[in-house]
Amino acid sequence: MHGVDPTPGSAQPMEVTMNQDQKDRMATGRGFVAALDQSGGSTPKALRAYGIPDDAYDNDDEMFKLVHQMRTRIITSPSFTEEHILAAILFERTMDNTVDDVPTAQFLWERKRIVPFLKVDKGLGEEAHGVKLMKPIPDLDKLLDRAVAKGIFGTKMRSVIAHHDAQGIKAIVDQQFELGAQILAKGLVPILEPEADITATDREASEQVLHDQLASHLDDLAEGQQVMFKVSIPLKDDLYADLIDDPRVLRVVALSGGFSRDEACERLARNHGLIASFSRALSEGLSVDDSPEDFDGKLEASINKIAAASLT
C-alpha cells in the first residue's frame, strides 16, 4: 500500500486507513467515476463546449487556467458529492494545482471522499495494425512518485483500437499491462484503457478480441494485485461481465466515447456491473455563463442520470 513508512515505530495509521478506505470504496461503492482529465489536445474542445472560444486565451498557460476554473466549479459544486461520485481522474496540471487553496487530490478525498486518480499517458502514436499505441512516457517513475506523495490512489492511460486487427489489439493490451506492472510496483492501481472506436464498422469483432486478451493477461498479475479496466460501452451487452466478477479486477468502467449523455446512459444501463467514467457526457450542457443555481442544477441532473445508469 502506497503512502506507508516502513520504518519501525514511524507508521502512519491514518494514511493506511485512508488508502484502504479508498480501495474498499472503489471495490464496492455505488456511483461512477468523473473523468476530469482533458489534456492539451482535448482542452480547447472542452472549453468550446463550455462556452469559452479559442480566442479567449493566448497560450497554454491561459488555456489551462481556464479549464482548471471549470474543473474547480464542477468539483466544488454542491451536487458533486460522494453520494454518486466514487472517483475523479485528474490531468497532471490539475493534480499539481489547488482547489480552495488545498491540493486537488487532497481536497477530493478529505473534503468530498472522492478517490483521486491521475492520467499518466502522453497521448497517442500513429496508427499501425489498426491501433494507436501510447507514446513513450518519459520519467514515468518520477511522475508516479509525485502522485504517491500527493495522495493519488491510481492512474489512467489510454490507447485506441481503430479497426479489428488481432496483432494490433494484442500489442495494445501488452503495452497497457507492461506499464500497468510499473504502476502497480509503486502501490498505485492502474486503470488500463484500450478504447474501441465506436465508429468502426468492425467494432464487435475488435471488442471480442480485446475481451479475450484482457482476460488472458490477468494471469500475468502477481498474487493479490488488482487492475481496473476502462472500455468503450460494448456492442454486445454484458461482454465484460466475467471480467467485472474477476477478483483480480477492482472495477470495470466505461467511457462515453462520443455518444450523447442520453445514448451513453441507455447503452450503459444494459451492461450489468459496468459503471460510467464519463467526461464530455458529464459536463454536457454546462456553460461558463450559467448562474450558480443553473450550473448546479444542470450538473445535478447529469450526475443523477449517469449514476442511475451505473446501478444496473
Catalytic residues: 193, 230
Bridge partners, residue 249, by sequence: 227
d(CA 6, CA 26): 25
278: helix, coil or strand?
strand
Cα distances from 42 to residues 39, 101, 280, 297, in angstroms, run 6, 26, 10, 25
Q: Where are the beta strands (DSSP E) in 57-180?
A: 85-90, 98-99, 102-103, 115-119, 131-132, 154-161
d(CA 231, CA 276): 10
CB atoms within 10 A of CB 162: 20
